[in-house]
Amino acid sequence: MKYTDTLQKIHQGLDQLGDLPVFSATVNRIQQISTSDEGDAMALAVAIMKDTSLAAKVLKVANSSAYNRNNKNISVVSRAVVIIGFNSIKNICITLKLIETFHDEHPDLDVPGMMMRQLLSANLAKEFALKSNKKIDPEEAYIAALLFGLGEIMVACTMPDQYRRMLRLRSHGEKKWSLVQTEVLGTTFSELGKEMALGWGYPQEVLQSIEHHDLAHIDGKSDFMGSLPSLANGLIQHLLVQDAAHEQSFSHIMESLSDVSAIPLDEVGTTTLQCFNNVAKVSRDYGLKGKSLVPKFVETGDETKDEMIRQLAFLGQSEAEMEEQELVTVDQLESSIRQVERSQKQIEYLQKLSELMASGNKIHEVFKLVISALQDCGSFDRSMLCLLSSGGDKLSVKIIEGEKLDDLQSYFERKKNGKADDLFFRVLNKRVTLLVNDLDEDGWSNRLPKTFVDQVGCKGFVLIPLTMGVRVIGMLYADKVKGSEGLTDEDFNLFNQFATQTRVALSYADSKAKH
């Protein structure tokens, strides 16, 4: 495929993905501010706050242990810019926008895993820039390494079939990965990333660093900034992607990193482990899952590499387990919050019912409020009031709320027919509550009218007859549709509480009518 054809296909695919950073007004505005002589922390904060989603994520990252060392809550973006630093915040923004934009629409291609590798590469490049005595801007090293792999992510998202073909060629191990890219795309991933970055106004030094460098020719005389993204990316690929397509051995990349950065070889390994640990702490705040940090361990015969992978696997697995535990804790917390909110709503509805009955409003207003309460306070999918004709041979739906209402309403708009469907008339006549927690249990699907089971499509339901004086006037009904969980004791207790209030209101209305 020609380079121009690849670019055209990518741009067509990007148009469908939506708010990509290359077209994002937010990112372009941030970049303009950062290169302007008049740019300052407040101007940058204002630009970020115009994108509410980005602002929230920036604050989340700013409050992580990696950045908020004194544990004082950072609640405003301008403070985050001052504390973390102008350039660091700028790069956090571009990282967050990239992760937000590219979705996991092709699970087999593991786009989140690619994003994690780029986050690792970027942080690794930044750490080496900070530790080296060769004076290069660590933030520029970060962005160059981040964008170095942008091309691969774009191809996976916009040209998935071609990318799968490339992976198959890579797995054969007959050609270098860069040659596979050129053969299929007419260019390399790094060139595609560079093409996308041109519109952001980055310095020429950053753009040149995004280019692919032959790892075999990097040594102590090589340009540090120019070779760092290739080396950082190559190292992360070795550790997290186990295949036969690596262009140079792990040991060679480690030695090259040591040579070009003038950092001792053993410190290169230590820095890599520290980087993994730091990224593990913030990965969730960036919207990435810790399990992407866990390398697949395969004995390679390279003792240094195998030992590092073992240590990284331990770090990654520990983080993934903590993530799962925190998710459980968060789910429990959210469940508790929902329960408190429902309880509060329940109290408010009961108060409104009391006020309605005390004011002597019509019973129809009570019915409406009860049906709304069942929907608002509980987890029912549908709630309904049916009234029974004076002759006791016809049901009519008077109030109904929820989802998928047509089938439910049409079934209960019915007359007695002398068949199995008369079950609900018999239940009302006997004035008994009918609770079916789950139609798939205890043979309920066979005991209930077949037309009801087939037409109404509920998972579980409860109904309570309503009486006024000595006469049954109808019923309250609520259910959950198929695909939901069955009714719980909590569901029934809520339903019974509002049914009791309805009965009290009917009794009060009856006594008033008699006097």
pLDDT in tens, 153-200: 889 988 899 999 998 888 877 778 888 889 999 988 888 888 877 766
d(CA 473, CA 471): 6
The radius of gyration computed from the CA coordinates of the chain, to the nearest angstrom, equals 32
Task: Work out the pLDDT band at 405, boundaries 50, 70, 90.
Answer: very high
The per-residue b/e assignment along 486-509, b for 16 or more CB within 10 angstroms, e otherwise, is bbeeebbebbebbbebbbebbeeb
Residue 228 near residue 259, CB atoms below 8 Å: no
d(CA 320, CA 326): 10
Between 180 and 297, the more confident residue is 180
Residue 211 near residue 191, CB atoms below 8 Å: yes
The number of residues making up the chain comes to 515
Task: Work out the pLDDT band at 333, boundaries 50, 70, 90.
Answer: very low
Lowest mean pLDDT among 186-200, 234-248, 431-445: 234-248
Q: Sign of the CA dihedral 173, 179, 181, 184?
A: negative
Instruction: Kindly tell me if the per-residue pLDDT of 280 is higher than 70.
Output: yes
Statement: the pTM of the whole predicted model exceeds 0.85 = no
Between 496 and 39, the more confident residue is 496
Res 361: pLDDT? 64
Lowest mean pLDDT among 118-132, 300-314, 435-449: 300-314
Instruction: Name the token pair of 429.
Output: 């006549």
The per-residue b/e assignment along 373-394, b for 16 or more CB within 10 angstroms, e otherwise, is bbbebbbbbbbbbbbbeeeeee
Identify the structural domains of the chain with CATH numbers, from first to last: 1-101 (1.10.3210.10), 103-359 (1.10.3210), 361-514 (3.30.450.40)
Return the half-sphere exposure (C-beta side, CA atoms, 13 A cut-off) of residue 393: 5
Instruction: Name the token pair of 412.
Output: 């209960």
Q: What number is the average pLDDT over the span 145-151?
A: 88
Q: What number is the average pLDDT over the span 135-139?
A: 88
Task: Work out the pLDDT band at 433, boundaries 50, 70, 90.
Answer: very high
Q: What percent of the chain has pLDDT over 90?
A: 27
Between 373 and 352, the more confident residue is 373
Return the half-sphere exposure (C-beta side, CA atoms, 13 A cut-off) of residue 53: 10
d(CA 481, CA 484): 6
Q: What number is the average pLDDT over the span 403-408?
A: 92
Per residue in 170-181, pLDDT (tens digit) is 887 777 888 888
Between 67 and 481, the more confident residue is 481
Lowest mean pLDDT among 242-246, 305-309, 391-395, 461-465: 242-246
Return the half-sphere exposure (C-beta side, CA atoms, 13 A cut-off) of residue 113: 18
Lowest mean pLDDT among 179-183, 342-346, 480-484: 342-346
Q: What number is the average pLDDT over the span 135-159?
A: 88
Q: Residue with structure tokens 């941030």? A: 30
Cα–Cα nearest to 153, from 17, 277, 295, 325: 17
Mean pLDDT (the chain) is 83
Cα–Cα nearest to 222, from 264, 230, 145: 230
Q: What number is the average pLDDT over the span 68-93?
A: 83
Return the half-sphere exposure (C-beta side, CA atoms, 13 A cut-off) of residue 60: 15
> Which value, to the nearest 10 degrees, does the dihedral of the CA atoms of residues 384, 387, 388, 390 take?
180
Q: What number is the average pLDDT over the span 484-493?
A: 88
CA angle 389, 392, 393 (to 5 degrees): 90
Q: Quick one: 8 exposed, middle or buried, by C-beta within 10 A (0-12, 13-18, 19+)?
A: exposed
Q: Residue with structure tokens 């696997």? A: 313
Res 453: pLDDT? 93
Q: What number is the average pLDDT over the span 96-103?
A: 79
CA 117 to mean position of chain CA atoms: 19
Res 22: pLDDT? 46
Cα–Cα nearest to 190, from 176, 216, 208: 208
Q: What number is the average pLDDT over the span 315-321?
A: 65
Res 476: pLDDT? 96
Q: Measure the N-to-C terminal CA separation of the chain; round to a whole number of Å.
A: 91
Q: What number is the average pLDDT over the span 90-112?
A: 82
Instruction: Kindly tell me if the per-residue pLDDT of 315 is higher than 80.
Output: no
The per-residue b/e assignment along 295-321, b for 16 or more CB within 10 angstroms, e otherwise, is beeeeeeeeebeebbebbbebbeebbe
Instruction: Kindly tell me if the per-residue pLDDT of 428 is higher than 60.
Output: yes
Task: Work out the pLDDT band at 335, boundaries 50, 70, 90.
Answer: low
Q: What number is the average pLDDT over the span 264-283?
A: 87
Between 210 and 473, the more confident residue is 473
Instruction: Kindly tell me if the per-residue pLDDT of 321 is higher than 80.
Output: no
Task: Work out the pLDDT band at 95, boundaries 50, 70, 90.
Answer: confident
Residue 280 near residue 290, CB atoms below 8 Å: yes
The residues near 112 (Cβ < 8 Å, ≥ 6 apart) are 104, 288, 289, 292
